[in-house]
Structure 1
Amino acid sequence: MAYRKQYVSWSDLYTNESYWLIEDTVSLELASGIAAKTAKFITNNGKSWITGSERAEYLQEQYSRFMSNIRTKTEFACALGGVVFKPYLLGKQIKVETITADRFYPVEFSSDGEMTAAVFAEQYTSGKTYYTRLEYHRLDAESGAYTVQNKAFSSSSPNSLGNECSLDDVDLWSGYTPNMVIQEVERPLFAYFRMPDVNNIDVGSPLGMSCYKKASEHIRQADQHWEKIMWEYQGSELAVMAESSMFKVDHGKAEIPKGKKRLFRILQGSGDGNFFKEFSPAIRDSALFHGFNRILQRIEFDCDLAYGTISDPQTVEKTAEEVRASKDTSRSSMQEKQKALETALKHLVWIMNEYADYYKLAPAGEYETMFEWGDGIAIDREAEYARRLQLATAGKYKWEKLIAWYFGCSEEKAAELIPEPAPLFGGDANVIT
């Protein structure tokens, strides 16, 4: 019977609940591994900070807490196509909730693809009752009015909203306002971090796609091919076929020596005079592993990963040009994802600044969000410093950029750290008399 392709959700792939994981087929956790590696490539060696004023210092304090585990948030975005960063006020602090794609529902988009309305879901369980809170956000671009609505529902099933109830039924939600309208808002008060790849499932949709979206079929093949490799080892395991008369008999049953049950197989009279037969077939592991590695290389191609990222780097049968091209493709893809993350983080900081204005959390002032991205490869900091120093000495790199990179500050602050040039012959002036 021909295999009929089925579809599996990105979430099922990520949590190892794919439909083919039955009987002896186990998950190699390729999807979660690819999402984790991609997130590391995006965030490794990356830095972001806020500078500029007393307001900037307050924003930096809030921002640094959020950025402390940005890799984990990025992994969720890679796996599920995107996440939403939604700030909220807790005392005098601005916290940020990271909402995965399975917990928010887009409603409207602007002409440039920015999400302007969405519903966010939160669930709480008490005994056998499941409470769900839906938080609706909508920006009216023409009037600048921003609407936030909260509604609660109770049900006996986690998969059903049930009937509407009061927000006060759940202590955690009792402080939420059912309906609020804020005037003169320029952008949504949530930031959407989406994977930049084109949506080829719903063409034209501004929603993001999982970083392993194209590889789901090959991930299935890899899981099932690995099961074949395991069966090859189990099926070709050394065994000795022996007649029952060669063993001690207890109550009419031949007993295999303790610890040898895996080795011996009892035969009830072979009839050919051979009391022992050895079973030791050749193992076809080389061919099977070669096929398995080919599948992994196809997954690397699907996910814009350089050859050798998850496949065996010692068996990459590619020319030097093909290997270089795959690395360039991977680097370009990661840079696009870094740019998408940067866009979302700038939006997030803008929202934090709006909150600081609205709730008067810090004195007004200018701020600038700074970024420095790596290429996803661990670097030797001393070697990199020597390289940049050489460029600066040759006049091909600004000194303030070198200082800013080394100390992790703004270029304006770095310029203040650069000493004035000393006079050539002492005194107060650089003048030869």
Structure 2
Amino acid sequence: MAIIKALFDRSVSGVAEAFGAPDIASAEMQEAIRSWIAEYFRRTPSRESDPCQRLPYTIVHKLEKGMFAEYASDIQDADSGKGAWMAENLAQLDRVRGEAMQWMLISGEAWLKPVPCQQAGGMVFRPRLIRRNQAVVLGRGPDGAVTRIGTSEQTAWENAFYTLLEARTVDASGYLTIKNRLYCSKDSGQLGAPCDLGTLPQYKGLPETFVLPRPVGSVGLVPLRTPLANCVDGSMEAISIYEPAMGLIHNINRNEALLNDEYELGRHRIVAPAEMLQIVDQEGRRRVLKDNVFVGVEEYHAQGAGLTAFSPALRHEAYEARKQTYLKSIENVIGMKRGLLSDVQEVEKTAYEIASTAGDYNLSLIDLQHVWFDAVREYLTLCDTLGQMYRYCDSTAWDVREQLSISWGNGILYDPDKNWSEILQMVQYEMLRPEIALAWKYDLPWETPEDLAAIRAKYMPELEDIAREARERAM
């Protein structure tokens, strides 16, 4: 991981030459990305700040868990050869959904790379997660889509570190060019010297430069981007989900450090002359009284005072109230339900506020769910394109919009079980055709007579038989 960090920090000589250009993100954005990741991993307190709340982790964890709490995905034609193959690709993707979304929330952007892997039924694609700090973005289109990117992966083998640098470029026609370079070093933080790609078994036969024979329309990586406008430098770079709250997070960490000081300074102590803190016994040994109990004051004895107990009243309530104010502000900024970060006891009596923030939270989750849904569609479409190209699957036409089904379960504002009951009542009163109800239930197309016939054939076989017999009699 050292080489990855060094690449993004631009601290390894030769990286710009290896990729042909530096990262296009501004210095301000690169510093912001580093600060988001550093804040996420930060756990050691300092004199001025205490990150014991681990707020970035808590925010990311709660949002990701809320997204996928009742998640389910399926491929409609999983019984067919192409459908079964796509279902396995979807299963591989679902295994990394939590980690992928967490890293998107942390650093604003992440990518999913389909990597071929052998399964019992043949070759499928397994997604490899690429974090923002593991990539060098070399070009973007007007819509923010990456048009040129450099990534790296490191392998430790036989007392050396091998780093594969991969540069991907898509042209205006959608053709993808991939360049590979392998470097060897004794230090994990250095690129080292170029070496042959065949040095490592996994790269044997990998060409240094090749162009995919069919257009894929992208760099072959599926992006995950937080649905937030950039409030760092206004560029097309994505931002962390907690970037708008970074100032509040720092204030809370500072507040925790002050509260710690308040407890430390407020401990029961004894004020005594300073000379008492260093006592020499009859054998000439020096004994030191612990200063967490005794506080020495110069010339205290001369003032005519003896030992005095010192234990001021703690200002815990003031610091706690301040922290709760900051936590509520973070919930407001990010769009989280009241009580997810702040103390729910503080808001039990404000039912309207809870309902309002619950609505904001639901909308925040919906925005994030749309990001994942779009990514799954793009990933499976890319798998289909690459699968046909490498002959991992057949060339049967396959439309992800018709075949992919994703359910998010019961939401805060939207209850599918209640909606399904209402739809069944409409069918019962003959206000709605049952085929359309089933299309809603299983996210199927129903616009054409062929669509309705397909629903009847799969879910209503007896009704389809009756309809077929009626058509035959009419003929």
TM-score bracket relative to the smaller structure: 0.7 to 0.9
Counterpart check, 1:55 vs 2:87: no
**d(CA) in 1 for partners of 2:435, 2:61:** 35
- 1:393 is matched with 425
Number of positions where the alignment pairs a residue of Structure 1 with one of Structure 2: 404
Q: What is the match of residue 212 of structure 1?
A: 242
Partner SS state of residue 350, structure 1 = helix
Structure 1 counterpart of 2:6 = none
Structure 1 segment 254-333 matched on structure 2, within 5 A:
270=301, 276-316=307-347, 320-333=351-364
Residue 289 of structure 1, CA deviation: 0.7
Closer/same/farther in 2, CA of residues 158 and 61 from structure 1, 3 Å limit: same
Letter of the 1:119 counterpart? G
SS at match of 1:90: strand
The residue number in structure 1 matching 2:133 is: 102
Contact 1:401-1:414 at 8 Å conserved across structures? no
How far apart, in 1, do the equivalents of 2:257 and 2:375 lie?
41
Amino acid at match of 1:299: I
The unaligned stretches of length 5 or more in structure 1 are: 1-5, 422-427, 429-433
- Of residues 404, 420, 424, the one that matches 1:369 is 404
Distance in 2 of aligned mates of 1:414 and 1:273? 100
| Structure 2 counterpart of 1:431 | none
Q: CA deviation at 1:163?
A: 3.5
- RMSD (Å) for aligned C-alpha atoms: 3.8
CA contact (8 A) 1:42 1:375 kept: no
Secondary structure at 1:183's aligned position in 2?
A: coil
Aligned match for 1:417, one of 437, 459, 462: 459
Question: 1-side partners of 2:320 and 2:457: how far apart?
Answer: 57
* 1:278 Cα deviation after fit: 2.5
Q: Distance in 2 between matches of 1:103 and 1:255?
A: 52
1:346 aligns with 2:377: yes
The change in CA–CA distance for 1:43 and 1:185 in structure 2 (over 3 A counts) is same
**SS of alignment partner, residue 201 of structure 1:** coil
Mapped to 2, the partners of 1:314 and 1:398 lie a distance apart of: 48
Please give the alpha-carbon distance, in whole angstroms, between the structure 2 residues aligned to 1:159 and 1:139: 29
Q: How does 1:149-188 map to 2 (within 5 A)?
A: 149-155=179-185, 157-188=187-218
| Deviation of 1:13 (Å) | 1.3
Alpha-carbon distance, 1:167 to partner: 1.6
**Which shows bigger deviation, 125-134 or 396-405?**
396-405
Q: 1:425 aligns to what?
A: none
State how 1:132-143 maps to structure 2 within 5 Å. Answer: 132-142=163-173
Structure 2 Cα separation of the partners of residues 377 and 24 of structure 1: 39
**Corresponding residue SS for 2:111:** strand
- Say if 1:289 and 1:115 are closer, same or farther in 2 by CA, change over 3 A: same
Separation in structure 2 between the aligned mates of residue 335 and residue 37 of structure 1, nearest angstrom:
14
- In structure 1, give the amino acid aligned to 2:224: F
AA aligned opposite 1:187 = G
Task: Report the CA distance between 1:419 and its aligned residue.
Answer: 7.1
User: Where in structure 2 are there 5+ consecutive unaligned residues?
Assistant: 1-30, 446-453, 464-469, 471-475
Shift of residue 133 of structure 1? Answer: 1.2
Partner of 2:258, secondary structure, is helix
C-alpha separation in 1, matches of 2:435 and 2:138 = 45
Aligned partner letter, 1:75: Q
Alignment partner, residue 36 of structure 1: 61
What TM-score do you get using the length of structure 2 for normalisation? 0.73
Residue of structure 2 equivalent to 1:424: none
C-alpha distance in 1 between matches for 2:288 and 2:215:
83
Q: Is the 8 A contact 1:167 1:176 kept in 2?
A: yes
Displacement of 1:165 in angstroms is 2.3
Matched, 1:222 2:220: no
Q: Flag the 1:375–1:218 CA change in 2: closer, same or farther, 3 A.
A: farther
Residue aligned with 1:79, SS: helix
Residues 44 and 376 in structure 1, CA contact (< 8 A), matched pair in contact too: no
Determine the structure 2 residue equivalent to 1:3: none
Question: What is residue 93 of structure 1 aligned with on the other side?
Answer: 124
Cα distance change on mapping 1:111 and 1:384 into 2, 3 Å: closer
Does the aligned pair in 1 maintain the 2:74–2:405 contact within 8 Å? Answer: yes
Offset at 1:403? Answer: 6.4
**Within-5 A mapping of 1:114-129:** 114-126=145-157, 129=160
* Paired amino acid for 1:120: T
Structure-2 separation of matches of 1:255 and 1:191 = 64
Q: Give the fraction of aligned pairs with identical amino acids, expressed as a percent.
A: 21
Structure 1 residue 70 and structure 2 residue 58: aligned?
A: no
- The TM-score, its normalising length taken from structure 1, stands at 0.79
Evaluate the alpha carbon distance shift between residue 159 and residue 414 of structure 1 in structure 2; reply closer, same or farther with a 3 A threshold.
farther
**Superposed displacement of residue 84, structure 1:** 0.6
> For the structure 1 residues 376 and 34, does the alpha-carbon distance in structure 2 shift closer, same or farther, using more than 3 Å as the test?
farther
SS in 2 for 1:208: coil
Cα 1:404–1:16 shift into 2, 3 Å: farther
User: Does 2:38 match 1:12?
Assistant: yes
Higher relative contact order (CA 8 A, sep 6+): 1
CA contact 1:40–1:376 (8 Å) conserved in 2:
no
